[in-house]
Structures are given as structure tokens and as C-alpha cells.
Amino acid sequence: MKIKEIAEYVNGEISGNPETEILNVGKIETAGKNEITFISNPLYEKYFLTTGAGAVLVSKSFEIKEERKDIAVIKVQDPYLAFVSLLEVFNRDEAKDKYGVSGNCVIGNNSRLPDRIFIDDFVKIGDNCEIGEGTRILSGAVIQNGVIIGSGCTIGHNTVVHKECRIGNNVSIHSDTVIGSDGFGFAKQQDGSFKKILQTGIVVIEDDVEIGSSCTVDRATIGETRICRGVKLDNQIQIAHNVFIDEDTVIAAQVGIAGTTKIGKRCMIGGQAGIVGHITICDDVIIGAAVGVSKSITKPGMYTGYRAKPFREELKQEASIKYIEQLREEIKKLLTK
């Protein structure tokens, strides 16, 4: 792809040779002559003078302090987003254009499949399922009875979607994830043993959700566990029964959210954080990594600590601990005065 074609694609302005041929994208530290890279973070501006890349995407406000005649520069609105879209242009995965139904899969009765679909080897699809246009079900995946999956989805290898769950359009679920297995519900009996509470609800996943590998999203006891439009989940996340996660919330790996908790819109939850059951987190909350949240949060902002507190307050308290020894010394002196 020539520089002039790239500039047109990302709606940018060229300085340098528009005929330069670019074959891939690269990191600014390691990119070669036929690769294009980007500068978004000011910390990386210093690499402008040394990068081996053939072209660099920069922001419209980027100031070229020292001209480089050997490379092309493309000025764009947002160099990072432009780079991200070029990543896709140069890395088409042809396997994703393959459609068809394997001879080694099992499809139940009354399941409706469109013409353009990919069903891989050793996939099992139950009865009464409905799957949309262009969806891809990868080898080893299991779709139980009565599941509805929209169009343009990918269900990863060995991922399981339990009965009657509903998945929207353009949803990606990676490998070895379990959607809709039983919530953890037991009623204590008089002899101290536990009776299982049948989990009769479902999981609903709305459009444009991405779920990583080895996650577990439990079905509701009654009603539904819901993951709203645009939510992104990393790997190894546990979402318990009847949880509700609102739009565009992003959750990092190994987070656990206990039963019936409600998370607002546009929240960001750090890795290994834990949120107890039956609470509500409002919109626009940032929760740090490994933070424990045991009470509802009603104000947007950042929360940190083993027991979640507003970020500044927690930082101050944490810092104060190191003064205790000094205080002990001082008081000892005062007492013996």
C-alpha cells in the first residue's frame, strides 16, 4: 500500500514521498523501512529522530523539530486510532472469511442456521437454536438447546453457551469460556447440609460485547444476568447470577462480581478486583486493581485499597501508617519527660 493510499484511508495529510510502499505496521522502536508506526504519547516523540520506520502517523498539532527527509509523515486527527485501523488493513485473517458447516459437527433439531455461517469441527449445537448471518462457531464449542445468537459473532474454541441464553450481534467470546452455567445457590437445611436451588434464569449478552478466554458468566436464579452493549471483559472473569453490567464498562482479568450486583455505565474495573453481591456501583466509577468493594458506590471517581475508598483518602491513610513508629518514639519521650 502506497503512502498516498494510506493517507487517503486514514484521512491524513502527507509530508514526504507519497509513493513509498508500506507493507505492515510496527512499533516505533523496532519498525523497519516498509512499516508505518505512530506517535501519540509525548514520551515517544523522541523516537521521531531515530525510528527506522518508513512512515509515521502523528497528530495535527505535532511539531517537527528536525526534518527527516528519509521518512514520510502523515498528520491525522488521532494517530492511535489511525494506527489501530491500519493494523487491521495489514493483518487480514483469511481464516475469518471462510464459511461452511463441518461434516464433523452435530446440529440438533429445529435449529435455524443462515446460509453464510461457519461451524467448525466437533461443534455441538442443540435443538431449537437460532444463529445469525456470518456468525462463526469454532471447534469444540457447545451451544445448548434454545440458544439465540445474533449475526457477526464469534464463539471461541471449547466455549460453552448453556440453554436458552441470548447473545446479540457482533459479540466475540474467546476460548474456554462458559456462559450460563448454574449460579451458586444453595439453601441450608436443618441437618446442616445444603439443598441446591435450581437456577432457572438465563444470561443475556447485548450487541458489541467482547468476552475473553476462561470466563464464567452464570445464569440467573430467576430472570436474567445481563451484560449490556459494548461491555468488554478480559480473561478469567467471574460474573455471578443476576449481575447486571451496564453499557461500555470495561473489566480487566480475574475480576469477580458476586450475585445480583449492578455495575453502571462506562466503569473501568482493574484486574483481580472483587465486588460483593447485592450492591450497586454508579456510572463512571474507576476501581483499581485488586480492590475489594463491599458497599455500594454512589459517586463517580476512582476507588482504591483493600477495602475500596476514594483514591486520595485511601492513599493518605495508607501513607500515614509509616508514621506510627515515629509517633511511638515521640510519645515515649513525652511520657518520660
Residues 235-274 that bind a copy of itself (CB under 8 A): 235-236, 238, 240, 248, 250, 252-254, 256, 258, 266, 271-272, 274
CB atoms near residue 161 (< 10 Å):
29
Residues 44-63 that bind a copy of itself (CB under 8 A): none
Stretch that binds a copy of itself, among 1-9, 45-53, 59-67, 316-324 (CB under 8 A): 316-324
The number of residues making up the chain comes to: 337
From residue 27, give the alpha-carbon distance in Å to each of 44, 48, 119, 124, 322: 11, 12, 35, 41, 41
Least distance (Å) between residue 185 CB and a copy of itself: 8
Residues 79-108 that bind a copy of itself (CB under 8 A): 80-81, 84, 87-88, 90-91, 93, 95, 102, 104, 106
**Looking at beta carbons only, is 162 or 226 nearer to a copy of itself?**
162
Stretch that binds a copy of itself, among 12-20, 48-56, 61-69, 133-141 (CB under 8 A): 133-141
The CB-based long-range contact list for 77-80 (8 Å cut-off, 24+ gap) reads 77/11, 78/40, 79/38, 79/39, 79/40, 80/38, 80/40
Stretch that binds a copy of itself, among 43-51, 59-67, 109-117, 232-240 (CB under 8 A): 232-240
Question: How many residues in the shown chain lie near a copy of itself by CB under 8 A?
Answer: 102
- Parallel, antiparallel, or unpaired for β 24-25 and 13-15? unpaired
The CB-based long-range contact list for 97-101 (8 Å cut-off, 24+ gap) reads 99/134
What does the block give as the cell for 335? 511520657
In the block, which residue shows the cell 475489594? 292
As a whole number of angstroms, the distance between CA 298 and CA 308 comes to 13
Closest among 113, 112, 207, 199 to 163, alpha carbons compared: 199
Indicate whether 150 belongs to the interface with a copy of itself (CB under 8 A): no
Indicate whether 206 belongs to the interface with a copy of itself (CB under 8 A): no
Residue of the chain from 45, 130, 182, 224 that contacts a copy of itself (CB under 8 A): 182
Task: With beta carbons less than 8 A apart as the criterion, state whether 212 and 237 touch.
Answer: yes
Least distance (Å) between residue 227 CB and a copy of itself: 14
> Is there a catalytic annotation at residue 162?
no
**Looking at beta carbons only, is 50 or 91 nearer to a copy of itself?**
91
**Looking at beta carbons only, is 63 or 319 nearer to a copy of itself?**
319
* Residues known to be catalytic: 241
